[in-house]
Amino acid sequence: MSQRYFTVTWDQLHRDAKALAWRLAELGPWTGIVAITRGGLIPAGIIARELECRLVETVSVVTYDEQKRGNPQVTKPPIAAGDGAGWLLLDDLVDTGTTARVVRAMLPKAYFATIYAKPAGRAEVDAFVTEVSQDTWILFPWDTEPQFVAPIMKNVAAK
């Protein structure tokens, strides 16, 4: 388990996805978007809107069970995207690059972009917005909810 956590809010995710869309707009037009589920679904929706792209396909690759990493399993291939030529492949994050390599093998001609990238997987994608350290676990807004947090001094005094 990671020792650091980085919480991404809905507002921040939207801003970062839109920043990525600005970069991708110059490279289009795109035939369609392939979202890597589940994390890529919301960024793909935001970017599809910004790029006025109506054709959205998905590829489902299961790699994590909560925070435990396992062997990747493709549970739904991206049939409509063929070899990926003209397609934009989107995910929320590239971590170790495991999922990225599996999907790249299926869509070798797609342009691969993520919102966030960690050093171990950064080389697997063509574009990203923000790099975070490898030991950081990103808490996406769909994985969290607002709750009370004690002041820092309460935790310092308890030690």
d(C-alpha 77, C-alpha 9), whole Å: 30
From 65, 83, 91, 143, the catalytic residue:
91
95 noted as active-site residue: yes
Residue 156: strand, helix, or coil: helix
From 11, 65, 92, 126, the catalytic residue:
92
92 noted as active-site residue: yes
d(C-alpha 90, C-alpha 125), whole Å: 10
Task: Kindly give, in sequence order, each residue whose CB lies less than 8 Å from that of residue 136, ignoring residues fewer than 6 positions away.
Answer: 2, 4, 5, 6, 118
From 11, 16, 65, 95, the catalytic residue:
95
Catalytic amino acids?
A: 91-92, 95
